[in-house]
Amino acid sequence: MRVNHAGELAAQALYHGQALVARSAATREMLLAAARSEADHLAWCETRLNELASRPSLLDPLWYSGSFLIGAGAALLGDRASLGFVAETERQVEGHLDEHLHRLPPADARSRAILETMRAEEIAHGAAATAAGGIRPPAPVSALMRRTARLMTGSAYWI
C-alpha cells in the first residue's frame, strides 16, 4: 500500500504542476478536479497504511517535487500534450493497479476494495483527458514514464 500511496502523491503533484501551466481554464479545472480525486485516493491509502501498521515512503517529498516539475514541464508543451500525458499516466497506473490486485492476498478485501475503486477512477481520468483532446505522447516518452514509475515504485516499497 506504500507504493500506491507514493503513486497517488505523485499523481496529485503531476496534476498540480500541469494545472499551474495550463493554458485554458477548462484544462486547468479538469487537472485540478483530477488532483482532488487523487487526494481522496491518497487519504484512502494513508488510512490503509495506518490500519496495516505501516508508513508512507520516506521519499514522499522527492516524489511530490519531482512529479510537480514533470507535470509543469509536460504542460509547457501545450494543453493537448498535457492532457495526453494525463491519459498515458492513467493508462500506466491502471496496469500498475492490475498488478497489485493480482498480487494482493485474497483475504485482504479492504485493500482490494480501495484499489478497485481507485482503478475505476483512474480509468475515468484518462478517458476524460483523451475526450478533451489529449494526444498520445511519443513512444520514447511513454517508455521513460514507465522507467521512472518503476524507479519510484521500487524505491517506495523499501524506503
pLDDT in tens, 76-115: 999 999 999 999 999 999 999 999 999 999 999 999 999 9
Say what the pLDDT of residue 158 is. Answer: 93
- Which residue shows C-alpha cell 485516493? 41
Contacts (Cβ under 8 Å, ≥6 apart) of 5: 42, 45, 46, 49, 56, 57, 60, 156
DSSP character at residue 128 = H
Contacts (Cβ under 8 Å, ≥6 apart) of 85: 14, 18, 71, 74, 134, 137
Contacts (Cβ under 8 Å, ≥6 apart) of 152: 6, 7, 10, 63
Q: Cell numbers for 81, please give them.
A: 500534450
Say what the pLDDT of residue 39 is. Answer: 94
- 133, 28 contact by CB (below 8 A): no
Say what the pLDDT of residue 134 is. Answer: 97
Mind listing the domains of the chain with CATH numbers? Answer: 2-158 (1.20.1260)
pLDDT in tens, 17-51: 999 999 999 999 999 999 999 999 999 999 999 99
Say what the pLDDT of residue 60 is. Answer: 96
